[in-house]
Amino acid sequence: MSKLDRWRVCKEETAMAGAAAALLSISDLGLVLDSPMWCSALTSRRIAECEPLWARRMYSTLIEENDLVFGAKKKLLQVAQDMRQEADYAVMGVAVNCGPALMGDDIEGICQSAMDIPVCVSDASGFTGDADRGWSDAMISLLRKVPHFSEKKQAGKINVIGQCILDPASDESWEQVLFVPGCQPMKYEELARLSEAEMNLVVHPRGLAVARWLQEHAHVPYSIQYESSLCQMLGKH
């Protein structure tokens, strides 16, 4: 490998795309990308390639150079106020890009001051990692907003953890599956029902941190099966 190779542009998916994919899987969530116009545009285009209707719930603060110097509090407040007045979301998501992440604003506090619904903020800057890290961090941010998890159990049911719309499409389904959080559309209030599964089946490394969080906080054990076929995985379970 030449010395120049280490400076080549990474071709992996971005953390912003991963975070957006996770957050938008909540069908009654409105997502604000706290980022410049063109960073937001690239993320929106990537989501639209996979789920066109999801991209219609995405907005942007359209950060400009002056905002990085003087702060973007006013823009965040305006987006939150407009969302409250003109939309009927159950939760507001905010995916934070590199510039705003470095500014250190209390983004959750700013948005929450204008909202009467939960605000879920996820650091999706390029400093944190790739799309897998963005997806994982966003999912955990969402789960932390769940007031309490259901104490019911559904015999034989499992959650599939780690699938993402950025992956190649699959039409496999299985009656044992309760939820596929972060991929299969679900309501915000349904997150509390993830604890009703007897087991979380982790199908991709991006889902491991989420499964560990659910084991600790929702008391659902997990099993790791990094395989391509859902039918094969559930057959082994």
Question: What Rg value do the Cα atoms of the chain yield, rounded?
Answer: 18
Q: What percent of the chain has pLDDT over 90?
A: 65
Give pLDDT tens digits for 211-237: 999 999 999 999 999 865 554 555 544
Rounded CA gap, 10 and 33, in Å? 22
CATH number given to 15-143: 3.40.50.1980
- On whether the CB atoms of residues 16 and 97 are closer than 8 A, the answer is yes
pLDDT, residue 224, reads 94
- Position 209 scores a pLDDT of 98
The string of pLDDT tens digits covering residues 24-75 is 999 999 999 998 888 899 999 999 999 999 999 999 999 888 877 777 788 8
Its sign, for the CA torsion 146, 43, 133, 109, is negative
Instruction: Give CA–CA dist 139/213, Å, rounded.
Output: 10
Please give the structure tokens belonging to residue 44.
């929106």
Closest C-alpha to 196, from 216, 175, 214, 171: 214
Q: Is the dihedral of CA 151, 154, 158, 163 positive or negative?
A: negative
Closest alpha carbon to 161 in 187, 188, 191: 191
Quick one: pLDDT band at residue 175, thresholds 50, 70, 90? confident
pLDDT of residue 127: 79
Show me where the domains of the chain are located.
15-143, 158-236
Average pLDDT value over all residues in the chain: 89
pLDDT digits (tens, 9 = 90+) for 99-122: 777 777 788 898 898 899 999 999
Tokens of 132: 């897998």
Residue 202 in this model has a pLDDT that exceeds 70: yes
Counting DSSP H helices and E strands in the chain, the numbers are 9, 8
